[in-house]
Amino acid sequence: MRGKGANRRVAGELESAVLAVLWEADGPLTPAQTQEALIKDGHDLAYTSVATTLVRLHGKGLLERTAAGRGHAYAPTSAAARQLADRMRGLLGDGRGRAVVLSHFVAGLTADDEATILALLAATEGEAESSNHGEGAAPGEAEPSGAPSS
């Protein structure tokens, strides 16, 4: 006989898997479509578990819901991405081990992940430059471009 909870998932694992499937989708998914995608990803889940998770995520404001036939289809909100990013920052921490954790994180990235991160960093840098563009530095301040002062 198995011990109590031997097959239980880690807290938040099902919600994370559902969100991942919805982010990968081209549009909103019904509970049945979500279940099918989860099964393809190796998650053996009952329809009711998927439907309940979708309703709970919607209740948390992490999914938007649209009418689809007699039911609903779900898509992630921007709040879902923000919450996950906040969770990642929380796990990363701000102590001495931060560089070590980031080093291990970067070492495990796929080539696609690396390309995405580099593109996001370049876009963020471009946004920062365009927001500073046209704003000269005040007397005594360094130029925004990092140009050497005379």
Domain membership of residue 45 (yes or no) is yes
Domain membership of residue 121 (yes or no) is yes
**Same domain flag for 19 and 63:** yes
Domain membership of residue 3 (yes or no) is no
Domain membership of residue 141 (yes or no) is no
pTM: 0.62
Domain membership of residue 8 (yes or no) is no
- State the CB neighbour count (10 A cutoff) for residue 141: 9
State the residue range of the domain holding 25.
13-78
**Same domain flag for 31 and 71:** yes
**Same domain flag for 45 and 72:** yes
For residue 70, what are its two tokens? 């007699």
**Same domain flag for 106 and 62:** no
Instruction: Encode the chain (150 residues) as per-residue pLDDT tens digits.
Output: 434 455 655 557 899 899 999 999 999 999 999 999 999 999 989 999 999 999 999 999 999 999 999 999 999 998 888 888 888 888 887 777 888 888 888 899 999 999 999 999 999 887 777 777 655 444 444 433 333 343
Domain membership of residue 86 (yes or no) is no
Q: How many domains does the chain have?
A: 2
**Same domain flag for 26 and 71:** yes
**Same domain flag for 24 and 55:** yes
Spatial distance between the Cα atoms of 108 and 113, rounded to a whole number of angstroms: 9
Domain membership of residue 138 (yes or no) is no
